[in-house]
Amino acid sequence: MPRPRSEKARQAVLAAMRRALAAEGYAAVTIEGLAQEAEVAKQTIYRWWPSKAAILGEALLEGEIPGMEVAVPMTDDLEADLHTWFATMYSQQADAASTELARALIVVTATDAALGLRLNERLAAPIRAWVDRRLTLAQDVGQLRPGVDAAVVADQFVALASYAALLGTPVSAESVDTTVRMLLRGIAA
């Protein structure tokens, strides 16, 4: 039976994961490298976490998440706002490191359902909050059908990003345009 985790050593491993991720990207992170930087035995890490993806998931739950700082001002033009937000979000995720991180998060979700749910809530919360604020403004001025569920709309953005990450392809400007137009056809008043 594994010994209880030392909180200081646990935090050292999680911090090492965040630093390595920022410096080298997820693919370059190794358990050996994390152990060396955190000054713990490799076997200790394997006793505490079942995989590199599990360490990543826990590190992201407790630390800063790269690429989550999407801030788009809201205007009177719903279509333009959704387009700008969608394009900004995906442009921040277009590099190889972001795609690699997204794939790793999908692995975490697939291998540890409870951790995946907590990560999804943390990652989706800023997206849902922005979409909810923007759609509430649109609903207040009669631009949307009554009863449009902002969380469902936000999930469409998350789903497209996840699918693009799985394929390893960036979301094109054309895809952004098409998605926003189709979405508005479904929710506009």
What sign has the CA pseudo-torsion 56, 118, 95, 165? Answer: positive
**Cα separation, 122 vs 138, whole angstroms:** 25
Residue 73's pLDDT is 86
**Cα separation, 86 vs 52, whole angstroms:** 30
Single out the residue of 53, 171, 156 nearest to residue 111, CA to CA: 53
Residue 168's pLDDT is 74
The tokens of 93 are what? 């995720």
**Cα separation, 151 vs 107, whole angstroms:** 23
The tokens of 42 are what? 């490799």
Residues of the chain with pLDDT under 70: 1-5, 64-70, 92-97
Residue 36's pLDDT is 95
Paired residues of 188 in beta bridges? 144
Residue 70's pLDDT is 61
The tokens of 43 are what? 């076997």
Residue 75's pLDDT is 93
What tens digit of pLDDT does each residue of 120-162 get?
888 777 878 888 889 999 999 999 998 899 888 888 877 887 7
Residue 69's pLDDT is 60
**Cα separation, 167 vs 169, whole angstroms:** 5
Residue 102's pLDDT is 75
